[in-house]
Structure 1
Amino acid sequence: MKLRDIGEAGLIKWIEEELSSLKEKAVIGIGDDAAAVEVSPERLLLFTTDSLVEGVHFRWDYTSPYHVGWKGLAVNISDIAAMGGNPTCGVVSLCLSKDTEVSLIKEVYRGLKDIASLYRIDIAGGNIARSSVFVLTIMLLGEVRRGELLLRSGAKLGDLIYVTGELGSSAAGLTCLREANLKVPEEARRLLVRRHLMPSVRLKEGRKIAKGRFATAMIDLSDGLASDLLHLAEKSRVGALIYEDKIPISPFMEKLAEELGKSPLEWALYGGEDYELLFTVSPEKKEELEKLDISLSLIGRIVKRQEGVSLVKACGKRVRLRDKGYDHFRL
């Protein structure tokens, strides 16, 4: 049996089962956006890690070293935000070939330093190793009050489903980068490309949602709305119903999709790397939640598990959503 036979999800499931006996200190282990360990009766330590690999997550012909450094930390911050926490400190591992230009490394760290400074994150050290391709790996620590910790597993029947921001812009930005000759208005290109290279980090929003005890479950949108909603529904053992005409889409992204004959809905559902927050809320908290100074869209509701996870098209037809998110081993 090879990795392509079981896929990324199958491998993670095996690792989770194999290490299940080693969870004495972990409050939350494998299966959420970050792990959590108790450091006091009131506070939890969060930690997460992500890698950006040359040729897998980015290509140098359309990605600057500065943006690799920025995005490498941004995706980790998003994990901490999805748990309702605050990031505090990180360590950085670099894998480099001996022919790597020193100026490239300096630019990676300039991007990393800028976003770390913005969110008041200390970079405490790391590791360097030789490799045939560039790899940036960051492990980020955070903290959260026990009562404010948010997981993927708390959604309840009848809960409302919300997302922050707009969806699909990152996938549209990647298309702009890969197809440089596209006839796209400069303002639209700039905005969409920025959403891909320097994704918004919804840390402030995550903290407001956690502090106000609004959400019953939350996840960040790294794999796409469809895939991540399926993850949340599976962990919560519920079904979900979302509505096509409620999904927030950027007008710039919609126009680009129209020009290319692509579906903006497809980008929103399956494009991935938007790093917005998807969360569920009890109907009793709807009015109070919507008073917050946050860009929110109500896109659906939680239903019984046997109903599955579906999209209601504009015409009224229900369509079951599939997990077409990125899988490292099934390409």
Structure 2
Amino acid sequence: MITDQKKKLTEKLIINKLLKKLNFKKTSTYNFQNDGSKIKYPSKKELIVSQDTLVENVHFFKNDTPESIALKSIRTNLSDILSMGGKPLSYTMSISINNTIDYYWIKQFTNSLYKEQKKHNFYLLGGDIVNSKTLSITITVFGLVKKGKLILRSGSNNNDDIWVTGEIGNSYIGLQILKNKITIKKKKIKDYFLKHYFFPSPPLVISQKLFKFMNSAIDISDGFIGDLEKLTLNNSKGALIYVKNIPFSKYSKELINNKIIKIENILSGGDDYQLLFTSKKIYRNKILHLSKKFKCKVSLVGEVNNSKKIEFLGLKLNIMKKSYVHRI
């Protein structure tokens, strides 16, 4: 009997045994038996596209689990689609694998993708598999949005509310733990932060209900402050942020209060993959109602103004780095 670890990897084996299940038998994929696939969508919708590449030792560590790498790869792309008011439809995936990857690893990787696809109803269109010294995954997600309802970063207006979903900083703290930059003795708290780093959770469900109240949005990938600037300053606007309203977890607050980590670092850390968006004040109660209904934190953190600068009410911050910098 040949075990999963000892099966010789070939492109044909990976496609037929592991990847075909991800196309959900959609006829537009031709069951991966042609050189391409077809994208079918209703005439009343518009197609939006986003692509991200995750590379070993840049976006994840060599020893991260295949489940974690799979979910991080797909969810970071899904958050981009959400930020434009879209719902995921399908995706392509190019994966470069090295000689440390075996059949069992890819099986776990694809099983995690399958569960995520089933949960949110999207499928794999196709892709490519190559051999490389470094593990990397490039995913291109296709999403649908109603015609005329595309949400851009440039849609905010003076006096709009600024909102954010979820919590800020948990993933960044998890990364600092892995890098041995900070030490957390309590296993429960340490595992809490590591879970957020390994398994980001963009607001895939509640966002579909929030879209109609948004007039601009961005996903927080490079850091709260840096992405807030992209949302406001690039639109010739400014923002007043209520520091006391920024949604930190209770464990993050403990670390801040005990001066184990600086609030400035959390706000510029990134990898939250939550939505930062603006909305007219008349929609406040409706947004808060959805937050309560879906049991998903949505926090009013500030307001848009014409100052062309970012100000923080309630705290003087010494911000040296505003966001993660992508070095080429």
The alpha-carbon distance between structure 1 residues 184 and 148, as it changes in their structure 2 partners (threshold 3 A), is farther
Q: Which amino acid aligns with 1:251?
A: K
Which of 298, 301, 320 aligns to 2:300? It is 298
Q: Which residue in the other structure is 2:47 paired with?
A: 45
Three-state SS of the structure 1 residue aligned to 2:74 is: helix
The alpha-carbon distance between structure 1 residues 71 and 288, as it changes in their structure 2 partners (threshold 3 A), is same
Separation in 1, partners of 2:84, 2:136: 26
Q: Which amino acid aligns with 2:235?
A: S
Deviation, 1:195, is 0.9
Deviation, 1:207, is 0.9
**In the alignment, does 2:215 pair up with 1:216?**
yes
Q: Work out whether residues 264 and 319 of structure 2, in 8 Å CA contact, stay in contact via their aligned partners in 1.
A: no
Q: Which residue in the other structure is 1:227 paired with?
A: 226
Q: Which runs of 5 or more structure 2 residues have no equivalent in the other structure?
A: 1-40
Moved more, 254-263 or 42-51: 254-263
**In the alignment, does 2:286 pair up with 1:288?**
yes
Deviation, 1:288, is 2.4
Deviation, 1:163, is 0.6
Three-state SS of the structure 1 residue aligned to 2:215 is: strand
* 1:281-328 deviation line (CA, Å, top 9, x unaligned): 111222222221342111111011x441222233xx5x5867632222
List aligned pairs for 1:1-331, cutoff 5 A.
42-61=44-63, 63-179=64-180, 182-210=183-211, 213-258=212-257, 261-263=260-262, 265-292=263-290, 293=293, 294-304=296-306, 306-314=307-315, 317=316, 324-329=322-327
Three-state SS of the structure 2 residue aligned to 1:204 is: coil
Three-state SS of the structure 2 residue aligned to 1:290 is: helix
Q: Which runs of 5 or more structure 1 residues have no equivalent in the other structure?
A: 1-38
Point out the structure with max Rg over C-alpha: 2
Q: Work out whether residues 54 and 60 of structure 1, in 8 Å CA contact, stay in contact via their aligned partners in 2.
A: yes
The alpha-carbon distance between structure 1 residues 59 and 311, as it changes in their structure 2 partners (threshold 3 A), is same
Q: Work out whether residues 56 and 134 of structure 2, in 8 Å CA contact, stay in contact via their aligned partners in 1.
A: yes
Deviation, 1:102, is 2.8
Q: Percent identity?
A: 31
Separation in 1, partners of 2:147, 2:234: 20
* 1:107-148 deviation line (CA, Å, top 9, x unaligned): 222222222222122112210122210011111111010243
RMSD: 2.5
Q: Which amino acid aligns with 1:205?
A: I
* 1:203-247 deviation line (CA, Å, top 9, x unaligned): 22221111xx21111111111110100011134221111121111
Separation in 1, partners of 2:103, 2:249: 38
Q: Work out whether residues 310 and 320 of structure 1, in 8 Å CA contact, stay in contact via their aligned partners in 2.
A: no
Separation in 1, partners of 2:194, 2:184: 14
Deviation, 1:258, is 4.9
Moved more, 128-137 or 178-187: 178-187
Q: Which amino acid aligns with 2:230?
A: H
Moved more, 250-259 or 156-165: 250-259
Three-state SS of the structure 1 residue aligned to 2:200 is: coil
* 1:145-200 deviation line (CA, Å, top 9, x unaligned): 02432111100001011111110011111123333993432222222111111111
Deviation, 1:40, is 6.8
Q: Which amino acid aligns with 2:275?
A: L
Q: Work out whether residues 264 and 318 of structure 2, in 8 Å CA contact, stay in contact via their aligned partners in 1.
A: no
Separation in 2, partners of 1:281, 1:96: 43
Deviation, 1:54, is 0.6
The alpha-carbon distance between structure 1 residues 195 and 323, as it changes in their structure 2 partners (threshold 3 A), is same
TM-score with structure 2 setting the length: 0.80
Separation in 2, partners of 1:289, 1:58: 34
Q: Work out whether residues 88 and 121 of structure 1, in 8 Å CA contact, stay in contact via their aligned partners in 2.
A: yes
Separation in 1, partners of 2:173, 2:246: 16
Q: Work out whether residues 173 and 194 of structure 1, in 8 Å CA contact, stay in contact via their aligned partners in 2.
A: yes
TM-score with structure 1 setting the length: 0.79
Q: Which amino acid aligns with 1:160?
A: D
Deviation, 1:260, is 6.5
